[in-house]
Amino acid sequence: MDSEDQGAPVVGFENVPENDAAEYLNNYKTHTPGITHDEMVRAYTEWATNYDKDLCPGRYNGPEIAARFMATHYPVEVRDKLNILDVAAGTGQVGRELHKVGFRKIDALEPSPGMLQVLKRRNIYGTLYQVALGLERINAIATDAYDALVIAGGMGEGHIPVRGLDEIVRIVKPGGTVFIVMREEYLSYVTEYVGKLEPYMENLLDRAIVENYSFGKSGVVFKYQVEK
Ligand SMILES: C[S@@+](CC[C@H](N)C(=O)[O-])C[C@H]1O[C@@H](n2cnc3c(N)ncnc32)[C@H](O)[C@@H]1O
């Protein structure tokens, strides 16, 4: 597929480095405007075995950025005691990065069976939930179950809807911390988020712009606290 095969221009393609064009288009199959939840899940399952090759460190730095922000927030001596939920865990790249800096109790939530299959092989995660966030209440996860929750790369067209944040507040303990790392430009053109996502985050502790999040584009990191 080239940048205009489907008749419409590929959103965000204009400033992608030439070397990353093919991988950007692979990624775009999971983010095409108007993609439904089921289509998105299927697209990830089809991509799963090539995902880590296409979205490798350098081209996609979300997992490393998430782990860096979490490591800055939590002193080294508490990291192995925290119950963490990695939402939109994909193939487990965030778990890999969190493990490197001393986090140990990490569960994964991920709707795509293909992505989960790759994740399982890493042997880093505890409980795995094959489910999506933001569609309905996740009865398998107790209220106030987690000390911290992280999402890297899980926000985007057809991905986690704004109402997913309600479920986050339910499953994270009062006073617990939520880290969301996403492509900055999605805030301006993903209809679900424009003018809605940021106002929804109460008790925002930090909002940081990071360079070279993915495909040379900047990212934004939100850190917020669930009300005590
Ligand atoms: C770009 S990948 C990011 C995977 C991993 N966090 C990483 O940084 O490599 C996005 C992931 O979000 C998952 N996802 C999409 N919508 C979701 C939802 N509503 N709830 C949970 N996960 C979702 C997809 O299945 C996919 O695995």
Instruction: For ligand 1, atom 9, name the residue with the nearest CA.
Output: 93
**Tell me: the pLDDT tens digits for 155-213?**
999 999 999 999 999 999 999 999 999 999 999 999 999 999 999 888 899 999 999 99
CATH number attached to the domain at 62-225: 3.40.50.150
| Residue among 28, 41, 167, 180 nearest 116 (CA) | 41
Three-class secondary structure of residue 137 per DSSP: coil
Three-class secondary structure of residue 165 per DSSP: helix
- Ligand 1 pocket, Cβ-based, cut-off 6 angstroms: 40-41, 44, 62-63, 87-90, 93-94, 109-112, 115, 132-134, 152-154, 159-160
Q: Give the distance (Å) from ligand 1 centre to CA of residue 18.
A: 25
User: What pLDDT, on a 0 to 100 scale, did the predictor assign at position 2?
Assistant: 44
| Residue among 131, 170, 122, 130 nearest 149 (CA) | 170
pLDDT score of 1 more than 80 = no
pLDDT score of 21 more than 90 = yes
Confidence of residue 6 (pLDDT cuts 50, 70, 90): low
- Delimit the domains of the chain by residue range: 62-225
Sequence-ordered list of residues with C-beta below 8 angstroms from that of 31, at least 6 positions apart, any chain: 40, 156, 157, 158, 159
**Tell me: the pLDDT tens digits for 74-130?**
999 999 999 999 999 999 999 999 999 999 999 999 999 999 999 999 999 999 999
Report the C-alpha gap between 136 and 69 in whole angstroms. 29
User: What pLDDT, on a 0 to 100 scale, did the predictor assign at position 202?
Assistant: 83
pLDDT score of 4 more than 50 = no
